[in-house]
């Protein structure tokens, strides 16, 4: 009986060693999986930071472009307004001269064959408006 008990203890110890070895193997696999997952997370975080930096740069570029477009719009509106005022003044002056029966004299700029109107200048072959 003592011999059977000793064999049972040995068998139990062998079984425990086998289970312990299996658990160590699983633990090693789990540790490797955790390390791979952490490396993947770090890689994804780095890629996310790069993407966020690109997005921020793109947003800054869009903002600069919008500001430039607003300045261009304001400048164009100002120039158009000034041009309209000049045109209106020219028409009023022309009408006053016509009322007096006098033809308006064209200045050297407007009398030039290369100029059709004050806002259209040609180089001789093509028009630039």
Exposure string (b/e) for 62-89, b if CB count within 10 Å is 16 or more? eeeeeeeeeeeeeeeeeeeeeeeeeeee
Query: pLDDT band for position 96 (50/70/90)?
Result: confident
Rg (CA), the chain: 44
- Alpha-carbon distance of 15 to 35, in angstroms, equals 30
20 pLDDT higher than 60: yes
- Which single residue is written with the structure tokens 């033809």? 103
Q: What is the pLDDT of residue 38?
A: 98
Q: Out of 41-50, 79-88, 104-113, give the one with best mean pLDDT.
A: 41-50
Query: pLDDT band for position 89 (50/70/90)?
Result: confident
Q: What is the pLDDT of residue 117?
A: 47
Extents of the domains making up the chain = 2-128
Question: Residue 104: phi, psi to the nearest 5?
Answer: -70, 145
Partnered with residue 127 across adjacent β-strands are 122
Q: What is the pLDDT of residue 121?
A: 45
Read off the tokens for 59.
Answer: 């947003």
pLDDT digits (tens, 9 = 90+) for 23-77: 999 999 999 999 999 999 999 999 999 999 999 999 999 999 999 999 999 999 9
Average pLDDT score over the chain: 83
108 pLDDT higher than 60: no
């Amino acid at each position: 009986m003592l011999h059977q008990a000793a064999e049972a203890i040995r068998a139990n110890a062998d079984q425990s060693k086998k289970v312990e070895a299996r658990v160590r193997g699983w633990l090693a696999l789990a540790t490797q999986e955790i390390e791979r997952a952490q490396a993947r997370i770090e890689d994804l975080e780095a890629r996310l930071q790069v993407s966020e930096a690109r997005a921020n740069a793109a947003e800054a570029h869009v903002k600069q472009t919008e500001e430039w477009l607003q300045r261009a719009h304001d400048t164009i509106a100002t120039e158009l307004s000034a041009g309209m005022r000049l045109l209106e003044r020219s028409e009023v002056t022309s009408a006053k001269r016509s009322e007096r029966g006098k033809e308006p004299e064209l200045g050297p700029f407007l009398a030039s064959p290369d100029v059709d109107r004050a806002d259209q200048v040609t180089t001789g072959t093509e028009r630039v408006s």
